[in-house]
Amino acid sequence: MYYGGIEAGGTKFVCAVSNEQFEIIDRISIPTTIPEETLKYVFDFFDQYNLNAIGIGSFGPIDVMTDSATYGYVTSTPKKGWNNYNFVGTIKERYNIPVAWTTDVNAAAYGEYRMGSAQNAGSCIYLTIGTGIGGGAILNGEVVEGFGHPEMGHISVRKHAEDPFEGVCPYHGDCLEGIAAGPAIEKRLKQKGKDVDKNDPYWDKEAYYIAQALVNYTMILRPEVIILGGGVMKQAQLFPLIRTHFKTLLNEYLTTPDLDTYITSPGLVDNAGITGSLLLAAEKAI
């Protein structure tokens, strides 16, 4: 059997084909432009293989409710051409095979749960912190979805006492994404996060905001592992700062696993999303 995976990001698509052992035998990365252009390259790639199923982890918001008239659509995205786009329907029109459909962060969470930093756990959260902030959760082996999918990046956080920054989220201003994602760092500091010195005092504020979110997720979902990925988390100095703030904010109200393993980096590094997409495809395969 061959499985196809699509990690559909707002900047690029990663497409891959694997065998039943989830060994990737081919992959491509293409820019995310308008659907017609992007999907042409996707089709050219997958047309070479006799696939049994495809798994898609997509940027959102997306409709994941199977009884909805717009199931499989990318919905209210500002990404040009993708607003209310029938992604799953377009793929199924080309390939008459099962298609697994979820968010890019849900796919990454599932990849880490099955083959990454949470493979020995029963539950996990995967949070990506980069151009935006999004999160996916796995509980009892299942991707968490309800009336839609989680939007973990848009929760409210308390402002740091020494941070006057108003935030950049067009919907909520200083929500977690609006105050701690890559564009917020760049607007605040006038340089990209990757260019900010690792000893810059700003990183303590960034850690404070992320830690608040992790406390909230811990209170609500009680995961066994929290995995932090994305471009901002390439700043390795953030991990000990986050753990310190997390411990202070939690204030011994709950017990958690050891923080060095509870708040950790992706075991699959940058392959969590595509791996999860392939794994989800296998579960749908005929």
Q: Is 252 helix (H, G, I), strand (E, B) or coil?
A: coil
> Which residues are within 8 A (CB) of 257 and not within 5 positions of it... i.e. 6 or more apart?
224, 225
pLDDT digits 0-9 by tens, 154-187: 999 999 999 999 999 988 999 999 999 999 999 9
pLDDT of residue 119: 95
Gyration radius of the chain's alpha carbons:
19
The answer, yes or no, to whether residue 195 has pLDDT greater than 70, is yes
pLDDT digits 0-9 by tens, 48-76: 999 999 999 999 899 999 999 999 999 99
pLDDT of residue 68: 96
Distance in Å from the first CA to the final CA of the chain: 9
Confidence bin at 97 (pLDDT 50/70/90):
very high
pLDDT of residue 73: 98
pLDDT of residue 286: 64
> What angle, rounded to 10 degrees, do the helices at 202-221 and 238-250 form?
50
Distance CA 177, CA 184 (A): 8
pLDDT digits 0-9 by tens, 218-248: 999 999 999 999 999 999 999 999 999 999 9
* Cβ 115 vs Cβ 22: under 8 Å: yes
pLDDT of residue 173: 93
pLDDT of residue 233: 97
pLDDT of residue 146: 86
pTM: 0.94
- Going by the DSSP 8-state scheme, the letter that residue 282 receives in this structure is H
Q: Is 240 helix (H, G, I), strand (E, B) or coil?
A: helix
